[in-house]
A and B are shown apart, each in its own frame.
Chain A
Amino acid sequence: MTAVAQPPLIEGRRLVKRFVGSLDLAGRIVARLGSDRGGWAVHAVDGVDIAIAKGEVVGLVGESGCGKSTLGRMIAGLLEPTEGDVLFRGRPRSALRGSEARTARLAVQMIFQDPHASLNPRARIETIVGEAPHVHRLVSNEELPAYVDEMLKRVGLDPALKRRYPHQFSGGQRARIGIARALAVKPEFLVCDEAIAALDVSIQAQVINLFMDLRAAYDLTYLYISHDLGVVQHISDRIAIMYLGRIVETAPAEELFRSPNHPYAQALLAEMPRIAPGKRTFHPIRGEIPSPLDPPKGCHFHPRCPHAMERCRLEAPLLKQVAPRRLSACHLNDA
Chain B
Amino acid sequence: MSGREALSPTLEVADLRTHFFTKAGIVRAVDGVSFEVRAGEVLGLVGESGCGKTVTGFSILGLVDPPGRVVSGSIRLKGQELNGLDEAALRKVRGNRIAMIFQDPMMTLNPVLKIGTQIMEAVRAHRHVTRAAVRELACNALARVGIAAPEKRLEAYPHELSGGMRQRVAIAIAFINKPDLIIADEPTTALDVTIQAQILYEAQKLCRETGTAMIWITHDLAVVSALADRIAVMYAGRIVEQGATSDIITRPLHPYTQGLLGSVPSANRRGARLAQIPGLPPSLLAPPPGCSFQPRCPKAVAECELAAPPVTEPMVGRQVRCFRPLVAEPAAS
Bound Cα distance from A229 to B194, whole angstroms: 12
User: Known: A63-B193, A202-B277. Contact between A273 and B223, CB under 8 A?
Assistant: yes
User: Known: A230-B264, A277-B250. Contact between A285 and B274, CB under 8 A?
Assistant: no
Q: Is A280 an interface residue, CB under 8 A from the partner?
A: yes
Q: Is B270 an interface residue, CB under 8 A from the partner?
A: yes
B interface residues (Cβ-Cβ under 8 A, vs A): 48-49, 162, 164-165, 192-198, 200-201, 204, 219-223, 225-229, 245-246, 249-250, 259-268, 270-271, 273-278, 280-281
Q: A172: which B residues are within 8 A, CB to CB?
A: 280
- 30 chain-A/chain-B pairs, Cβ below 8 angstroms: A63-B194, A202-B259, A203-B280, A204-B263, A205-B265, A205-B274, A209-B273, A212-B273, A229-B193, A234-B268, A234-B271, A234-B274, A272-B266, A273-B222, A274-B266, A275-B222, A275-B266, A275-B267, A276-B249, A277-B249, A278-B246, A279-B228, A279-B229, A282-B200, A283-B197, A283-B201, A284-B194, A284-B197, A289-B194, A289-B195
Q: Is A82 an interface residue, CB under 8 A from the partner?
A: no
Cβ-defined contact, B226 with A63, below 8 A:
no
With most chain B CB atoms within 10 A of its CB, the pick from A64, A203, A254, A277 is A277
Q: A284: which B residues are within 8 A, CB to CB?
A: 194, 197-198, 200-201
Q: A278: which B residues are within 8 A, CB to CB?
A: 246
Given contacts A201-B264, A203-B280, A289-B194, 12 further A-B contacts (CB under 8 A): A200-B219, A200-B281, A201-B48, A201-B260, A205-B275, A208-B274, A230-B222, A234-B268, A273-B222, A279-B228, A284-B200, A288-B195
Task: For the complex formed, measure the closest distance between the CB of A127 and the CB atoms of chain B, giving whole angstroms.
Answer: 24
Q: B194: which A residues are within 8 A, CB to CB?
A: 63, 267-268, 271, 284-285, 289
Bound Cα distance from A288 to B192, whole angstroms: 10
Bound Cα distance from A271 to B200, whole angstroms: 10
Q: Nearest B residue to A253 by beta-carbon distance?
A: B270
Q: A209: which B residues are within 8 A, CB to CB?
A: 273-274, 276
Q: Is A235 an interface residue, CB under 8 A from the partner?
A: yes
Q: What 1/0 flags go to A56-97 for Cβ under 8 Å of B?
A: 000000011000000000000000000000000000000000
Bound Cα distance from A212 to B267, whole angstroms: 17
Bound Cα distance from A275 to B245, whole angstroms: 10
Bound Cα distance from A208 to B192, whole angstroms: 21
Q: Is A170 an interface residue, CB under 8 A from the partner?
A: yes
Q: Nearest B residue to A171 by beta-carbon distance?
A: B49
Q: Is A227 an interface residue, CB under 8 A from the partner?
A: yes
Bound Cα distance from A77 to B173, whole angstroms: 46
Candidates A64, A231, A268, A285; contact of B265 at CB < 8 Å? A231
User: Known: A64-B192, A205-B262, A275-B264. Contact between A282 and B204, CB under 8 A?
Assistant: yes
Bound Cα distance from A64 to B196, whole angstroms: 12
Cβ-defined contact, B192 with A63, below 8 A:
yes
Q: How many residues of A contact B (CB 8 A)?
A: 42
User: Known: A170-B280, A209-B273. Contact between A201 and B226, CB under 8 A?
Assistant: no
Bound Cα distance from A279 to B225, whole angstroms: 7
Bound Cα distance from A283 to B274, whole angstroms: 30
Q: Nearest A residue to B267 by beta-carbon distance?
A: A275
User: Known: A282-B204, A282-B226. Contact between A201 and B249, CB under 8 A?
Assistant: no
Bound Cα distance from A122 to B313, whole angstroms: 51
Candidates B193, B195, B265; contact of A208 at CB < 8 Å? B265
4 nearest CB pairs, A to B: A230-B266, A234-B265, A205-B263, A277-B246
Cβ-defined contact, A234 with B260, below 8 A:
no
Q: B204: which A residues are within 8 A, CB to CB?
A: 281-282
Q: B260: which A residues are within 8 A, CB to CB?
A: 201-202
Task: For the complex formed, measure the closest distance between the CB of B282 and the CB atoms of chain A, giving whole angstroms.
Answer: 12
Cβ-defined contact, B270 with A271, below 8 A:
no
Q: Is A206 an interface residue, CB under 8 A from the partner?
A: yes
With most chain B CB atoms within 10 A of its CB, the pick from A201, A227, A274, A289 is A201
Q: B270: which A residues are within 8 A, CB to CB?
A: 233-234, 253-254
Bound Cα distance from A170 to B280, whole angstroms: 9
Q: A233: which B residues are within 8 A, CB to CB?
A: 265-266, 270
Interface residues of A in 156-187 (CB under 8 A from B): 170, 172
Bound Cα distance from A273 to B220, whole angstroms: 9
Task: For the complex formed, measure the closest distance between the CB of A91 and the CB atoms of chain B, giving whole angstroms.
Answer: 32
Q: B220: which A residues are within 8 A, CB to CB?
A: 201, 273
Q: A229: which B residues are within 8 A, CB to CB?
A: 193, 266
Cβ-defined contact, B225 with A271, below 8 A:
no
Q: A206: which B residues are within 8 A, CB to CB?
A: 276-278
User: Known: A201-B48, A205-B262, A233-B266. Contact between A274 and B274, CB under 8 A?
Assistant: no
Task: For the complex formed, measure the closest distance between the CB of A229 and the CB atoms of chain B, giving whole angstroms.
Answer: 7
Bound Cα distance from A188 to B256, whole angstroms: 37
Q: A281: which B residues are within 8 A, CB to CB?
A: 201, 204
Q: B280: which A residues are within 8 A, CB to CB?
A: 170, 172, 203
Q: A289: which B residues are within 8 A, CB to CB?
A: 192, 194-195
With most chain A CB atoms within 10 A of its CB, the pick from B192, B194, B270, B280 is B194
Candidates B192, B200, B263; contact of A227 at CB < 8 Å? B192
Q: A254: which B residues are within 8 A, CB to CB?
A: 270
Task: For the complex formed, measure the closest distance between the CB of B86 and the CB atoms of chain A, giving whole angstroms.
Answer: 37
Task: For the complex formed, measure the closest distance between the CB of A59 and the CB atoms of chain B, giving whole angstroms.
Answer: 11
Q: A268: which B residues are within 8 A, CB to CB?
A: 193-194
Q: A272: which B residues are within 8 A, CB to CB?
A: 193, 266
